[in-house]
Structure 1
Amino acid sequence: MRTTEETEGFDGEASNTSMISGASSPYQPTTEPVHSRNVFGGIVCDMEYLKSYLGILKVVEVVLSLIGFICIETIMMCSPCGGVYFFEFVSCSALVVTGVLLLIFCLNIHTKVPHVNWSLTDLVNTGASTLFFFLSSLVLACINHNTGAEIAAVIFGFLVTVVYGINTLLAVRKWRRGAGCQGVAQASDYIRARTASRGEVEPRPELA
């Protein structure tokens, strides 16, 4: 039988061996905190944009488009219904697209997607909305049954047409300003590259 001293010796060796193996193991416990990723980090509401002319126009466009869409949806019977359906499609499309652009500009999401020309996108949206709202309001004004909902839809349709028209003019100026700055930057880069390339070319020796 083993004595008590031998048993204690074996226990000490086993504990030392486990400590050594634990120290040499690559899988060590860590006490570093795990930081959770914030998907919506950096997205804040830009109040300066909402207070600007473009922001105010966007809000007015969304509100008027929504009112026009609600007015046209309250019409229960129509014959013919072409003007009603046309105005319904235009008001709904403008409401969705303009609302999405308002959120993108208000939350500064456009700065996270720089490869998209947002000025041109806004210009196309406002120009198309101006044209189609004018056409749909004109068609509904000519083909209607003189109901209150149709008259209200026509009024709000022409109002939002004017607002979209003003926004289109401002969007054109903003797009031209951005295109001009981009053209100047490209020209300066081209001149800088030409100057650098000329500086690297060695002068030719004169012919004897």
Structure 2
Amino acid sequence: MRTTEEAEGFDGEASNTSMISGASSPYQPTTEPFHSRNLLGEIRCDVEYLKSSFGILKVVEVVLSLIGFICIETIMMCSPCGGVYFFEFVSCSAFVVTGVLLLIFCLNLHTKVHHVNWSMTDLVNTAASTFFFFLSSLVLACINHNIGAEIAAVIFGFLVTGVYGINTFLAVQRWRLGNGCQGPPQNSEYMRARTASRGEMEARPELA
């Protein structure tokens, strides 16, 4: 029969073995699901953005781009078709890109991706959409054959061009204000810090 010391020794080894195996087990409890759940809980619709000027302009741009794309898609026959295809590509691209940006800003997803300059991204998109919508609407207006769908597409194309132009103007102003407000405060704070440190050095000459 085993003695009490041997039994205690085996029990101690068994407990140590279980602790080691438990520590090295790949199936460890983690808090990652709760963290992910918290991140998903933070995703919500930003009603204040939709009420702002940029939010309203984004919604109008998406709606007008979609209407222009639907108008151009109803054309069954065209000759020449270059202007129709060009307008179709521009309206579809603007609808998709602007819609994605609207979704990102509404759900505050841009606050979770910090390495992207979202103000510059919005500025580039609105400026490019303004230029290409104006160009495609002008080309379509020059080669259209008085078909109702083409005329409607041209009208909505110039309308959305104006909306994109206003958005571009506001985006440029926001970008300028953002860059202008970052430089002077940093310089003034730096000068105040330098002045304070110089005053401390003059007050305590033994440190010089």
Report the TM-score range of the alignment, normalised by the length of the smaller protein: 0.7 to 0.9
For each residue in 1:59-85, what CA deviation from the matched residue of structure 2 results, as whole angstroms up to 9, or x when unmatched? 111111111112112222211112112
- Work out the CA distance in 2 between the residues paired with 1:53 and 1:167: 9
Question: How much has 1:115 moved relative to structure 2?
Answer: 3.3
Q: Which amino acid aligns with 2:36?
A: N
1:27 to 20, 23, 29: 20
Larger radius of gyration: 1
Question: How much has 1:107 moved relative to structure 2?
Answer: 1.6
Question: How much has 1:33 moved relative to structure 2?
Answer: 5.2
Question: How much has 1:97 moved relative to structure 2?
Answer: 1.6
For each residue in 1:125-166, what CA deviation from the matched residue of structure 2 results, as whole angstroms up to 9, or x when unmatched? 112211221121111111112222111111111111121122
1:38 to 23, 33, 36: 36
Tell me if 1:16 matches 2:8.
yes
For each residue in 1:6-41, what CA deviation from the matched residue of structure 2 results, as whole angstroms up to 9, or x when unmatched? 4xxx286665333211232342658x8543251753
Q: What does 1:41-190 correspond to in 2, within 5 Å?
A: 41=40, 42-190=42-190
Question: How much has 1:47 moved relative to structure 2?
Answer: 1.5
Give the TM-score normalised by the residue count of structure 1: 0.79
For each residue in 1:106-137, what CA deviation from the matched residue of structure 2 results, as whole angstroms up to 9, or x when unmatched? 12122222333222221221122112211211
CA separation of 1:200/1:97 partners in 2, compared to 1, >3 Å: closer, same or farther?
farther
For each residue in 1:164-196, what CA deviation from the matched residue of structure 2 results, as whole angstroms up to 9, or x when unmatched? 122122212211221121122332354246446
Matching residue of 1:3: none
Question: How much has 1:55 moved relative to structure 2?
Answer: 0.7
Which shows bigger deviation, 55-64 or 44-53? 44-53
- Work out the CA distance in 2 between the residues paired with 1:15 and 1:67: 83
- Work out the CA distance in 1 between the residues paired with 2:119 and 2:36: 28
What residue ranges of structure 1 are gaps of 5+ in the alignment?
1-5
The share of aligned pairs that are identical, in percent, is 72
Q: Whose helix proportion is higher, 1 or 2?
A: 2
- Work out the CA distance in 2 between the residues paired with 1:57 and 1:63: 10
Give the TM-score normalised by the residue count of structure 2: 0.79
CA separation of 1:112/1:184 partners in 2, compared to 1, >3 Å: closer, same or farther?
farther
